[in-house]
Amino acid sequence: MAFTAPLENDGVNTSPHVADEVKTTTCYMCACRCGIKVHLQNGQVRYIQGNRDHPVNKGILCGKGAAGIMQHYSPARLRKPLKRVGERGASEYAEIEWDEALSIATGWLSNIRATDPKKLAFFTGRDQSQSLTGWWANQFGTPNYAAHGGFCSVNMATAGIYTIGGSFWEFGEPDWDHTKYFMMFGVAEDHDSNPIKIGLGKLKARGAKFVSVNPAQTGYSAIADEWVGLRPGTDGLFVMAIIHELLQSGSVDLDYLVRYTNAPWLVIQAPGTADDGMIARDPQGNPLCWDQKTKTPINALLAEVAPVLRGNFDVNGKRAVPAFELMAQRYLDNAYAPDAVAERCGIPAATIKRIAAEVAHVAFQQQIELPIAWTDWAGRKHDKIIGRPVAMHAMRGISAHTNGFHTCRAIHLLQMLLGSVDVPGGFRYKPPYPRPIPPGPKPAGKKGATPNQPLGGMPLGFVTAPEDLLLDGQGKPIRIDKAYSWDHPIASHGLMHMVISNAVNGDPYPIDTLFMYMANMAWNSSMNTRGTIDMLTAKNTDGSYKIPHIIYSDAYFSETVAYADLILPDTTYLERWDCISLLDRPISDADAAGDAIRQPVIAPDRDVRAFQTVLLDLGARLKLPGMVDEDGDPKFPGGYPDYIVNHERAPGIGPLAGWRGDGTAQGHGAPNAAQLDNYIENGCFWRGEIPHDARYMKMANASYLAWSKQMGFIPKAEQIVLQIYSEPLQKFRNAARGHGPVQPPDKDRARIETYFDPLPMWYAPFEEAAIDPQQFPLHALTQRPMHHYHSWGSQNAWLRQITSQNRLFMNRTTATAQNIADDDWVWITSHAGRVKAQVRLVDGVNKDTVWTWNAIGKRKGSWALNPNAPESTRAFLLNHVISERLPNSQQSNSDPITGQAAWFDVRVRVERAADHEQNDAGHNFGALYPPPGVTTGPDVLQYGAQFSEAAE
């Protein structure tokens, strides 16, 4: 209900003209994929508003989204292709025409493709076109492709996908409308930032309890009903202690466990043999359980069995025990009792016990029932769905530690024990999840790279056993980042953080061209920034660069631009077509599948081109399969929009799922020439609702499984059994114990055997274990500021006014004990380096932890900022003290299973800087200078003045 304008007679125009035209598109001030309505006046952006109909943001916008105007008109925008003319990093560039740029790139790349395609390392950062870029790498023939997932949250993705067939990250969501108890682990902002905020608002309005487990009490934690400020890296212990309490008191959902998880599956106990720890199976390969009625081992996938969860059985002459019992035995051990873990977690045992009791109470005494009739996978009809209204969500606070994979699995285990996965009030999958565990396909490239041949599949995939690893004849890594090698066997997203370092060390081999897109690797997305800059400029004795060619696409003058040889300037998000695809990171929610597009709402005023179109153009010039037709002419002459509409990954499956075929087909269907228009008419997104009876219990809901298969998300409409016990992990462990055709080298055996535990385990983060805790007593973390996106925000005249300096937040008591006062400048020292920062003392942080806002510090001169901008005089980047390798080791600073970069493992000491150093951050990185056409933005900015004049 709106108010009508009163007769005030004060001359105020209460109904000014707002827009000549309103165009919908998708925000890209971050990867959250919100729908926006761009109000245009005289071809300029008057106002950006959230799209109320959009499933992601439902009309709201975050602090960044509403500052899109300043991003779009940023002075740091690149204007024309550039060629490096001086030394790398010397800021000497020449503007060139697109034709020249594309010929240079084609020259380098065709040479590589004709000789050894893996000499191209193609790595993309924060983009949303991984299904295109991965496909391109495949057609090019290099296995050396990944996006940023390896340094981002691969632990969450992999642990989830291998455990429950779906994951946190943005691939699942709490049932915000029904949950009564929400536990959030290590989240500051997430990729689902607006949905999380909307959800928290709902919890607050309903009075549901919100527990935030996080060493820092900021943002979301500030409004939590309970803040659990534990010591970083100890969540696994905390969760396992809760599990201990639940098991001890019998507070687990046994019915759920036998129906939906592999808890009853029998695990062979035959130490010393290749079968040890493997699931007992029938000759058809079906897992077995012990049937209580027939007292025999029976196919555990059958519906009509009565499986036991405990006991010791003889299965074909081998001893076997239900997975549940193995699990329970582990966590019932007193080593996992709250009293045993309390000190390490920094949380009183009584608190852990109380939270366990609360969780159990809500799950089992306050269960909810939704009157939704549904049919399970076995065809049995149910007239209601029982909900255990405890929901959980976790992200990089769990992920970015070397023990993150197991910790994340522990959280999923806790969810399964409570019976709260995809039930009302619990965690809910978003399509295309859940998918089979593990899902296909496996990573391509086992044969390495063949000249002038495609790779034969997508470079990234899911391994199921040692046989799937990408190893050469000597057992050495095939990939430059050593993903899917014994270093990081289940590195589902690759290891972008190791590419530069490995390439420069020639280990496993040197490369010819590093091709990057949208990743600021010379600054905030590299560990060891200084070292990375040195590596990017490192030369052989003959004076040539160790990485001979670097091609980079950025839209702005980031630090990395200065280190590239060839720069392909991209458009801004308001100037291009994009596709937020179900093949990549779609906009689905728990009730619907969805995808979206970005349409150009403003024409570029510079000589820039959308990177995806450039990539397709390059592909056509290189005559890559799928990018040229039979005559060798470009297959997508219309560039990316042409591809979005007409490319088919498999017959009938393309980048967009909506309005296929004759315009009515969803998921499957022939390309539809009017598809983009259909999207635009619908606000630039498509949302295909899941049938009403299919919205919960998706892993076992016949209706959902059929729908999912029909949409092309899963190959077969079969139940997806959640895995409390992970057999794939055990396969790696057995290989380490000397079984099977593919075994780790001796140096890696112990490591693989230890960490490939089929049940969630806890160990101290590697850096913590390697350093002297007296010397480096504190954990150092970063958090995303809600109003900045990595390094993008600082070029934004509005966002940088909010934050242009980051402080080091330190516990008041800890600081005072060291005579550090508020506003003092301090040195932060780790085993890898040191950096200066100004402190802010607070109570709301774990006493052993310091933290700062991520990516506020900038290299002097970059981003079209004045060299004296606080971003490069008083701000700092914590990455300067984070190393990509473990202390005194060549091993990467990553999770041993997934290769996830362990940003949050860093340990530091903090000391007050000397009196004469008490003024600024004192960076000693030299200044960068902007390329031609880019100048520092204006001193006086009066954006908007033009509209008020127009309005008068």
Ligand X SMILES: Nc1nc2c(c(=O)[nH]1)N[C@H]1C(S)=C(S)[C@@H](COP(=O)(O)OP(=O)(O)OC[C@H]3O[C@@H](n4cnc5c(=O)[nH]c(N)nc54)[C@H](O)[C@@H]3O)O[C@H]1N2
* 849, containing H or E segment: strand 849-853
Strand ranges for 20-117 from DSSP E: 21-26, 35-41, 44-50, 82-84, 93-95
Among 287, 397, 425, 448, binds ligand X (CB under 6 A): 397
Q: Which does 126 bind (CB under 5 to 8 A by kind): ligand X, Mo ion, ligand SF4, none?
A: ligand X
Contact stretch for ligand X (CB under 6 A) within 6-14, 15-23, 580-588, 878-886: 878-886
Q: Which does 524 bind (CB under 5 to 8 A by kind): other proteins, Mo ion, ligand X, none?
A: ligand X
**Residue 71 sits in the site that holds ligand SF4 (CB under 6 A):** no
Q: Which does 443 bind (CB under 5 to 8 A by kind): Mo ion, ligand X, other proteins, none?
A: none
Q: Are 452 and 141 in contact (CB under 8 A)?
A: yes
**Residue 574 sits in the site that holds other proteins (CB under 8 A):** no
Query: For residue 862, which phi and psi values (nearest 5 degrees)?
Result: -80, 170
Cα 742 to Cα 736: distance, rounded to the nearest angstrom:
9
Q: Tell me, residue by residue from 579 to 598, as one string, x for binding to other proteins by CB under 8 A and - for no binding.
A: --------------------
Q: Tell me, residue by residue from 727 to 766, as one string, x for binding to other proteins by CB under 8 A and - for no binding.
A: ----------------------------------------
Question: Please, which residue, 769 or 817, has the CB nearer to other proteins?
Answer: 817
Residues 211-230 that bind ligand X (CB under 6 A): 213-216
Query: For residue 469, which phi and psi values (nearest 5 degrees)?
Result: -65, 155
| Count of residues interacting with ligand SF4 (CB under 6 A) | 13
Considering the complex, what minimum distance in angstroms separates the CB of residue 62 from ligand SF4?
A: 3
Cα 317 to Cα 524: distance, rounded to the nearest angstrom:
57
Q: Which residue is nearest to Mo ion (CB)?
A: 152
Q: Which does 179 bind (CB under 5 to 8 A by kind): Mo ion, ligand SF4, other proteins, none?
A: none
Query: How many C-alpha atoms does 182 have within 13 Å on its Cβ side?
Result: 33
Sign of CA dihedral 307, 311, 313, 319: positive
Among 320, 514, 752, 786, binds ligand X (CB under 6 A): 786
Cα 414 to Cα 408: distance, rounded to the nearest angstrom:
10
Own/partner pairs, 540-544, CB within 8 angstroms, 24+ separation: none
Contacts of 650 (CB under 8 A, 6+ apart): 712
Considering the complex, what minimum distance in angstroms separates the CB of residue 866 from other proteins?
A: 4
**Residue 879 sits in the site that holds ligand X (CB under 6 A):** yes
Among 695, 787, 909, 923, binds other proteins (CB under 8 A): 787
**Residue 640 sits in the site that holds ligand X (CB under 6 A):** no
Question: Please, which residue, 56 or 480, has the CB nearer to other proteins?
Answer: 56
Contacts of 382 (CB under 8 A, 6+ apart): 373, 374, 375, 376
**Residue 324 sits in the site that holds other proteins (CB under 8 A):** yes
CA dihedral 510, 514, 519, 523 (to 10 degrees): 60
Collapsed DSSP state (helix, strand, coil) of residue 297? strand
C-alpha distance from residue 788 to each of 148, 185, 617, 806, 941 (Å): 18, 21, 33, 12, 20
Residues 177-206 that bind ligand X (CB under 6 A): 185-191, 193
Q: Is 350 exposed, middle or buried (0-12, 13-18, 19+ CB in 10 A)?
A: exposed
**Residue 29 sits in the site that holds ligand SF4 (CB under 6 A):** yes
**Residue 868 sits in the site that holds other proteins (CB under 8 A):** yes
Considering the complex, what minimum distance in angstroms separates the CB of residue 921 from ligand X?
A: 15
Cα 574 to Cα 567: distance, rounded to the nearest angstrom:
20
* Residue 304 CB coordination number (10 Å): 9
Residues 814-853 that bind ligand X (CB under 6 A): 851
Residues 494-523 that bind ligand X (CB under 6 A): 517-520
Q: Tell me, residue by residue from 177 to 216, as one string, x for binding to ligand SF4 by CB under 6 A and - for no binding.
A: ----------------xx----------------------
Cα 122 to Cα 135: distance, rounded to the nearest angstrom:
11
Question: Please, which residue, 142 or 153, has the CB nearer to ligand SF4?
Answer: 153
Contact stretch for ligand SF4 (CB under 6 A) within 27-35, 259-267, 485-493, 524-532: 27-35
* 829, containing H or E segment: strand 825-829
Residues that bind ligand SF4 (CB under 6 A): 27, 29-30, 32-34, 57, 61-62, 64-65, 193-194
Binding site for ligand X (CB under 6 A): 30-31, 64, 125-126, 148, 151-153, 185-191, 193, 213-216, 232-233, 235, 395-397, 401, 517-520, 524-525, 553-556, 558, 560, 570, 572-573, 611, 781-784, 786, 788-792, 851, 854-855, 878-879, 882, 903-904
